[in-house]
Amino acid sequence: MELLIGPILLITNPAARRGRLLEQRARAAFLAAGAEFDVVVTTHQGHASVVAAERAKDFAAVFTLGGDGTAMEVIGTLAHSGVPVGVLPGGTGNLVARALRTPRRIELAVPALLDGDLASVDLGYIPECDRRFAFSSGVGVDARMIDETDPDTKRRFGIGAYVHTGVKVGLNRRAFNARVEADGEVIEREATSLMVANFGTVLDRLFTFGPGIRQDDGLLDLCVFSPAHSFDAIRIAWRLFSRSFRSDDVMLYRSGVEFRIDCDPPQLYQADGELLGTTPYTVRVEPLAARLLVARRD
């Protein structure tokens, strides 16, 4: 794709980690690239969605600068619209930006996306809360990690705070009984973590959730992890790190278009790093619903 022709709308969240500093760097990067742009600073949760709905039609693309919550407000609002979205890494986890392999430095990310490629990707949709997600939704370890990470620690240490809490939660096995209807197939088993993934990798491809997970195949991928003790948990972590997905009783995978998830006892569920409610809930795929700007791969 050639350099984007037309004005850019940048929606930035000042409450995100280092929000104001990163906004200044983004402005400088757009100016250096010779791009015409307008900036809207959000003032409350949901504001990014409102701005995207009202103003996106007047711009060649919409960029977000904030956390995954800001990115998904815009991506979800512009689903099926054809408007390209560029996600700049401006939050703590930056799951979406990392999954798209966007450069971490704003000075590099802006020109890389302006002169990048367009990718059509699937989205997950949760009807219970009318929310879309790009990366994953899940219960168990990942939801507990988000719930139990101290906000002050997150502001100080960024993604490291999540990693620390995730290791502690993962080794502290807290099992629940999961019942999943996956395209009509009923799956019942004890688990400590259950995830419906759209992208297959996390933390700059450090871990891979399962085999053959693609964000543009019209499917979502159910990943259920059922360690009986801490050694099983360590083995699962090693498998995800080493991309070893041979048969294992503690790891179950299914691809599908719709999943109904119920747990006993009920569990918090998250999507793209935000807690959204308590099970049961439903996840379904929206094939190729989003157009995202991605850096070129030489």
Q: How far is CA 3 from CA 28, 59, 60, 295, in A?
A: 17, 14, 11, 12
Classify domain 131-285 at the CATH class level.
Answer: mainly beta
For the chain, what are the domain ranges? 8-115, 131-285
Please check the confidence at residue 5 and state whether its pLDDT lies above 90: no
Q: Which pLDDT value is given to residue 150?
A: 61
pLDDT tens profile 110-129: 999 999 999 999 999 999 99
Q: Which pLDDT value is given to residue 229?
A: 86
Q: Which pLDDT value is given to residue 146?
A: 79
Q: Which two tokens stand for residue 19?
A: 């929000």
More confident residue, 172 or 255: 255
Cβ atoms of 137 and 283 within 8 Å: the answer is yes
Cβ atoms of 277 and 149 within 8 Å: the answer is no
Give mean pLDDT, residues 246-260.
Answer: 92
Candidates 2.40.50.100, 3.40.50.10330, 1.20.1270.10, 3.10.20.30; CATH matching 8-115: 3.40.50.10330
Q: Which pLDDT value is given to residue 78?
A: 97
Confidence of residue 15 (pLDDT cuts 50, 70, 90): confident
Confidence of residue 36 (pLDDT cuts 50, 70, 90): very high
Task: Spell out a b/e string for 86-104, using b for 16 or more CB atoms within 10 Å of the CB, else e.
Answer: bbbbbbbbbbbbbbbebbe
Length of the chain: 298
Q: C-alpha 37: how far from its chain's center?
A: 26
pLDDT tens profile 120-170: 999 999 999 999 999 999 999 888 887 766 666 555 545 554 554 555 555
Question: Do the domains 131-285 and 8-115 match in fold?
Answer: no
Percentage above 70 pLDDT, the chain: 87
User: Hey, which bits of 32-94 come out as E strands?
Assistant: 37-41, 61-66, 85-89
CB neighbourhood size of 81 (10 A): 16
Percentage above 90 pLDDT, the chain: 65
- Distant-in-sequence, close-in-space partners of 185: CB < 8 Å, separation ≥ 6: 254, 256
Confidence of residue 251 (pLDDT cuts 50, 70, 90): very high
Q: Which pLDDT value is given to residue 169?
A: 59
Closest CA to 124 of 242, 258, 273: 258
pLDDT tens profile 214-231: 999 999 999 999 998 888
Q: Which two tokens stand for residue 223?
A: 């990943």
Q: Which pLDDT value is given to residue 281?
A: 98
CB neighbourhood size of 44 (10 A): 8
In whole numbers, what is the pLDDT of the chain averaged over residues?
Answer: 88
Cβ atoms of 110 and 29 within 8 Å: the answer is yes
Lowest-confidence region among 18-27, 39-48, 248-257: 18-27
More confident residue, 109 or 156: 109
Helix H or strand E encompassing 74: helix 68-77
- The model's pTM is 0.87
Question: What is the rounded CA–CA span in Å between residue 133 and residue 269?
Answer: 12
DSSP state of 5: P
